[in-house]
Structure 1
Amino acid sequence: MKRSEAVAEAAITLLAERGMRGLTHRAVDEAAGLPPGSTSNVARTRAALLELTLSRLTDLEERLFSGAMGDGPPPGADLTELLAGVLTAQLRDRRRTLARYELALEATRRPELREIYDRAGRRFRDPAVALLAAAGSRDPVRHGRQLVAFAEGVMFDVIAGAGAEPSPDDLRAGVRDLLRGMLADQGDGRSAAGRSRRRQG
């Protein structure tokens, strides 16, 4: 692991465990097991440290999403299973999600971080739009936003709210209901490519 990645990983852990006030260059050095001053060499200012941490978080979450979807769901893929699987994986990593919430709140006070946070968010919203367009949504931009909002709401309710952690069946049911509303005349949440193959078969 590169030193910048080690610094970012330690920062993620500190944000999750101690909140924004617990994130200092010295604390990152200690958490990462690095010599004093190492974090300052990677990210000299607090703003730079926050940007580095957010960039690392975005990369990790994007890999998770890409690992499930690749360049798009395979023909005949069950979108309910795919999306519920991604959401389950997100819920399992509370450390990462808690750190992102801390950064999201901080971004409301730092315009420079807000710009980076919004740009990072588009890396997930754009694929959601493309996914629903491929599934046959008649309004993929609106539905893509709703899909992301649904996922964020579930995660916040479980991790930072008062909600109980849903079972895999609960998650699948929630995603299925959402997709059914978006694709009411498009079947049960299976991809448009899969439906086309079935019609041709």
Structure 2
Amino acid sequence: MAFSADELRVLRRALALALHPAPLPADEVRECLRLADSVDEAIREAGRLRAFLLADLARYRAALPGSATGYLELLQDALAAGYRPQPDDLTALRSLRGLPLGAALLARCQGIAERSVRARLARTAPGTPGITAPAAPGPRTRLTALPGGRGAGGPALPRAAGAARAAEPPAAPGRPAPADRPAPPRPVPTPAEAFPPRKKPAPPGERREAS
């Protein structure tokens, strides 16, 4: 893309305004708008020329081997414009490797294709930026022992026995702690202990003396 002297002046002024904003006269605003329209039109024209070039390249490739000279020249122009060779181009160049220009373009296109494949593999390989590895599982929550459960060194205790032990007063210093054994069974009372005999009433004379 080539700019005229007037277009370069407007472009320089627009860049200066981008760095140091300031109010513009109306005529300079119109010049900047005209330059922007010209740049847009040049971009559209470049797109149209590229489409025509690729269409001609496909027609010359289909007419090989008779169109070898025209095809190689068009392929050179397309590569200079950023064209990436297709598999059909590599196949056609292999058939034209007997020509010096064909062999040179074949080596050039193979290098472009290899770099493109390596870049595509690098984007999809694990460990590259943008691909995250699965997160490791978090640490497990430790389980705590419940009251009445199995201790570290002995069998499980019944819940009632655990409650009774908690209700016992602490052992005095110097005295051994009571052994973990059940209390002896309580003796069954006899009928005489459960129902003691009543005292006989005293005779009337004894009651008068006592009074």
Q: Greater CA radius of gyration, 1 or 2?
A: 2
Instruction: Please give the TM-score of this superposition, normalised by the length of structure 1.
Output: 0.31
Instruction: Please give the TM-score of this superposition, normalised by the length of structure 2.
Output: 0.30
Structure having the larger proportion of residues in helix: 1
- RCO higher in 1 or 2 (8 Å CA, sep ≥ 6)? 1
